Each structure stands twice: as C-alpha cells, then as structure tokens.
Amino acid sequence: MVRLALVMIARNEARAIARALDSVRPHVDRMIVLDTGSTDDTVAIAERRGATVHSFAWCDDFAAARNAALDHSDADWNLVLDADEWLEGGFEALSPAALPPATKAPAAFIGCAKLRNEGVAGTVARRFLPRILPRGVRYAGRIHEQPMSPLPLVPGALCIGHDGYAEAQLAAKHGRNLALLQAALAEAREDCYLWYQLGREHLVRGAAEAAVEPLQTAYRLTPPGAAYRHAVVLSNIRALKEAGRLHDALALVDAEQAAWPASPDFYFAVADLYLEWASHAPELAIDELLPVVEGAWLRCLEIGEQPLLDGSVVGCGSYLAAGNLAMFYERLGILDEAERYAALERELLAAA
C-alpha cells in the first residue's frame, strides 16, 4: 500500500512543473500528474521527473479534474499541489508520524498548508488551504474547488510557495477564471466564497471598480466565523480605496475595527486609507489624518506578524510597517526617528 502520493493537475506548465515535482519527490511515495491538454513539454518534463502522467479532457470544471486525478491514487493520503506551486518547508507535516498508514490509524482530519502567494509588486500573502486529504475525499466546485468531507480541517506546518498570481502568470489566465466564476455563481448565487473570489480576481488585475460589487456581496454573505472573512474585509477596504470610494471604506473600517484588534494587516490598511484621505484633504492632514496613519503603523509593530490570519501579507507586522514609519518621519523632518525605524526595518527584514 502507498502511504502518501502527490496528486496534481496541470496544463501547459513547462515553465514551473519541474520545480514543483523536485520539491515534492523526497517526501512522497508516488507522484501522479493529470494533464488536461498541454501543448508544450509539460508531460515530458513530468515523466522525466518521475511522475506518472494521465490524460483528461478539460471540461471547465476544476473539481472534476481534481477528482479524476484522485481516482488514479490508491494512497492512504494525498498531497494536492498545483504545478505553479512548490514545497518550501514544514516537511514534518508529511512524515509517517503526522500521516500514519491507514493500517495503523484511521484518518481523522484534513491537513491545511500555509500557502504563500507571490503577487504583483513583490507582495507575499498567506492563505491556509486544505491540501492533505485522506483516501476517499473528493472535491466540489467548478473553480476554487473545496474538498467535501465532515472531517475537521487541521492547520499544519507545511508551507507551499505559489507564483500563479505574479503579473507574468496572470496574463496567461486572463478570462478563464472570470468565466468559470461567473458560471459557478449562476448556479450558486448565495455562495459567499465565490463572490469573494470573483472580486479578488478583478482586484489582482487592477480593476477596483469591478471588484467592489462582488466583494461587497461577499462581505454581506460571509459568516463572522469564516476563516477567510479577514481576507474579505481587507479586500473590500482595498477595493473601495482604489475605486475612490473613501467614505465607504472609512465606514467599513469603523464597522470592523472591534473585530480585528490583533490584525496588523487591518491596521496597515487603515494607514493606507488615511494616507489616501490626506492626499485629498491636505487641510486635515497634519492635525487629524497623519496622526492616525502614524498610530496605525505603530500598532502594526505592537501586534507583530500574525501568519495564521488568512490573507495576511508578510511584513505588515514587521519590516513593511517599520519601513513606512521611517519614510513617514523622514518626510516630516524627524530624522532621529526616521533613522531608528530604518534600522528596525533592516533588522526585521534580515530576520524574516
């Protein structure tokens, strides 16, 4: 019996698939790739890297493809990875002690990995996603599919890198995700996660105006306890700010402030929002708005990094806040504070 298998779907991923497979090979017993119609060297590269490759006719349904790939696995546990991802650390989450063979212990959970999304402008956002599935678990959802199981989701140490939202890769997916999201929403109008993903899709492409309505819908529909509500709130603030709807963004900040006392990302968004307001109302800047900006960045440093918050951006609780404070004080002519926070930025960046 196979204890742990990699299960991947791929199409035209010659750019990245070797990196993905090389990162996984030492930690799994088998690598399975389901090719959904590649016209480049994806299949040949995967086979050279030791994967067993199967073919599947793409049908505009990610869950169908995931499930077809899982059907080829007889492993007790399946690690689900995309070709534009790679393992970075936390490998102990894949060990026999963490994922015992079914003959020794029945599966009692679905394992969540920390996904580091490398996005535009060099930002790195964190997400926790279910990626370690016991035998028999299958997916549902045309896009942004999720495993369907009553088993609890358990966060683990595994860390996955992802560059599919970097600018060069976004162009290759233009139109596909939007079409699939709109088709999925036609079938499930009350699905808050789909509304969030539709808004996020517009937002990462710089279309803030188009992002506002779906993100506002997601905000209304997302339960307070949902793990991704943090990301929904932050995406709404960003979209409203970038769309020029500052008063709506400020109202949202006021409504949500009590919910996020331990989120550096929330206070970082507050600082960005008040800076934008100051640029439109310079007469209020010195006495009313810039003190809020300063206080928000200081609060980020007080809280520190919170990597378990879904959608959190690396650095908001450390070097990004310190760097912004350094620039803030330099522009105000407070040079001793500027140097102090510049030194702190270098220290925190080195430790990141």
The percent of residues in the chain predicted with pLDDT above 90, rounded, is 85
Position 240 scores a pLDDT of: 98
The 10s digit of each residue's pLDDT in 195-249 is: 999 999 999 889 999 999 999 999 999 999 898 999 999 999 999 999 999 999 9
Position 172 scores a pLDDT of: 67
Closest CA to 276 of 232, 220, 238: 238
Question: What is the pLDDT confidence band of residue 167, given thresholds at 50, 70 and 90?
Answer: low
- What is the spatial distance between Cα 148 and Cα 226, in angstroms, rounded to a whole number? 16
Q: What are phi and psi of 344, to 5 degrees?
A: -65, -40
Position 176 scores a pLDDT of: 83
The 10s digit of each residue's pLDDT in 282-309 is: 999 999 999 999 999 999 999 999 988 9
**What's the mean per-residue pLDDT of the chain?**
94
CA angle 100, 104, 109 (to 5 degrees): 50
Mean pLDDT, to the nearest integer, of 123-142?
90
- What is the spatial distance between Cα 143 and Cα 239, in angstroms, rounded to a whole number? 22
Question: What is the pLDDT confidence band of residue 107, given thresholds at 50, 70 and 90?
Answer: confident
Contacts of 248 (CB under 8 A, 6+ apart): 240
Contact status, residue 97 vs residue 24, Cβ threshold 8 Å: no
Contacts of 145 (CB under 8 A, 6+ apart): 62, 63, 66, 139
- What is the spatial distance between Cα 222 and Cα 216, in angstroms, rounded to a whole number? 10
The percent of residues in the chain predicted with pLDDT above 70, rounded, is 96
Among 101-110, 149-158, 170-179, 259-268, whose mean pLDDT is lowest? Answer: 170-179
- Alpha carbon distance, N-terminus to C-terminus of the chain: 40
The 10s digit of each residue's pLDDT in 75-84 is: 999 999 999 9
Position 155 scores a pLDDT of: 87
Please determine, for residue 275, whether its predicted confidence score (pLDDT) is greater than 70.
Answer: yes
Contact status, residue 121 vs residue 136, Cβ threshold 8 Å: no
Six-digit token string for 6: 């990699």
Whole-prediction pTM? 0.81
Please determine, for residue 3, whether its predicted confidence score (pLDDT) is greater than 90.
Answer: yes
Dihedral (Cα; 315, 316, 317, 321), 10-degree rounding: 90
Please determine, for residue 164, whether its predicted confidence score (pLDDT) is greater than 90.
Answer: no
Please determine, for residue 121, whether its predicted confidence score (pLDDT) is greater than 60.
Answer: no
Q: What are phi and psi of 197, to 5 degrees?
A: -65, -35
Q: Concatenate the DSSP letters of all residues of 115-129 into one string.
A: EEEE-GGG-EEEEEE
Please determine, for residue 35, whether its predicted confidence score (pLDDT) is greater than 90.
Answer: yes
Question: What is the pLDDT confidence band of residue 256, given thresholds at 50, 70 and 90?
Answer: very high
Mean pLDDT, to the nearest integer, of 305-327?
94
